[in-house]
């Protein structure tokens, strides 16, 4: 290891806590890192100390990228739990690098012209290591965000039947929906023609309406329209003399529920694709 590089690494290792305190004071009041302002100072200082003490291992490691994960993943997980936005987490790393060099310059680590010229190589090495850490933090944040989304919409994805593959998935959904609509038709006939009633049973129609909207999004409205038309036609045929108002309202609500859930599912799909 060249003398000027060793000099910088030794300074960082020996003064890790001092540099961390300087960084913590900066990041906890900086306008671009407002989420840090309310964090415990001890936690912030510990983050900086962990990184600065890891610096020697990263610099000497045969695979510094893998060594950097020792800090990057812990840093990302801790800040994610604290709900620190990704842009602030990355800017905090920029401040960490800046404070490292400001401290080295203030301590006169590179005095002569030759040392200052040679220090450029140390600077390039430092930038590379910080680039590794920044990339890994972004990668870990992405993983944590995806994991959170998977957990939050897990039940919905189960209803969406995403475990099935390709055409088999569509065939199964169409088959189930056909059965639901057939049962709804038989139930409507029985209640209207035999029991002469228009209430209660229609609440069961929300099951195929909701499932159709979950499976096909806005296109799932066909189930709501079919069931709405079904009860109106059946009413006209078998419940003559009974007011249409109740079934008209029910048919209208079928369509409203189908549209609302269909739009919600389209939004969920877009969020999932985005992440």
Is the predicted pLDDT of residue 164 greater than 80, yes or no? no
Could you tell me if 177 and 211 are in contact, meaning their C-beta atoms sit under 8 angstroms apart? Answer: yes
Best CA proximity match to 139, nearest among 72, 43, 48: 72
Q: What is the dihedral of CA 257, 262, 265, 271, to 10 degrees?
A: -120
Is the predicted pLDDT of residue 96 greater than 50, yes or no? yes
* Interval 99-103 mean pLDDT: 79
> 18-75, pLDDT tens digit by residue?
889 999 999 999 999 999 999 999 999 999 888 888 877 777 778 889 988 988 999 9
Best CA proximity match to 161, nearest among 225, 222, 216, 221: 216
**Residue 32 CB neighbours (<10 A):** 12
What CA–CA distance (Å, rounded) separates 68 from 75? 11
No. of H helices and E strands in the chain?
11, 0
Is the predicted pLDDT of residue 106 greater than 60, yes or no? no
Q: Where are the domains of the chain?
A: 3-152, 156-274
Topology given in CATH for the domain delimited by 3-152: Globin-like (1.10.490)
Confidence (pLDDT) at 203:
85
Confidence (pLDDT) at 2:
46
Is the predicted pLDDT of residue 78 greater than 80, yes or no? yes
Could you tell me if 39 and 82 are in contact, meaning their C-beta atoms sit under 8 angstroms apart? Answer: yes
* DSSP 3-state of 102: helix
């Amino acid at each position: 290891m060249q003398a000027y590089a060793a000099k910088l690494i030794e300074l960082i290792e020996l003064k890790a806590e001092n540099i961390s305190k300087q960084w913590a004071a900066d990041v906890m009041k900086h306008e671009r890192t407002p989420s840090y302002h309310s964090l415990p100072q001890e936690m912030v200082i510990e983050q900086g100390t962990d990184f600065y003490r890891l610096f020697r291992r990263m610099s000497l490691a045969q695979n510094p990228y893998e060594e950097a994960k020792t800090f990057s993943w812990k840093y990302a997980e801790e800040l994610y739990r604290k709900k620190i936005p990704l842009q602030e987490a990355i800017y905090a790393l920029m401040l960490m690098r800046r404070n490292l060099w400001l401290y080295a310059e203030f301590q006169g680590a590179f005095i002569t012209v030759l040392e200052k010229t040679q220090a450029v190589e140390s600077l390039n090495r430092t930038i590379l290591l910080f680039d590794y850490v920044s990339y890994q933090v972004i990668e870990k944040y992405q993983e944590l965000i995806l994991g959170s989304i998977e957990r939050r919409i897990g039940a919905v994805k189960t209803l969406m039947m995403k475990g099935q593959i390709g055409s088999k998935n569509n065939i199964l959904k169409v088959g189930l929906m056909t059965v639901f609509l057939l049962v709804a038709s038989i139930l409507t006939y029985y209640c209207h023609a035999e029991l002469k009633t228009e209430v209660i049973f229609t609440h069961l129609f929300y099951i195929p309406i909701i499932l159709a909207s979950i499976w096909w999004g806005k296109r799932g409205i066909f189930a709501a329209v079919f069931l709405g038309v079904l009860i109106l036609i059946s009413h006209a045929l078998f419940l003559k003399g009974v007011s249409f108002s109740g079934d008209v309202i029910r048919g209208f609500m079928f369509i409203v529920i189908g549209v609302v859930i269909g739009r919600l599912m389209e939004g969920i799909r877009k969020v999932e694709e985005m992440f």
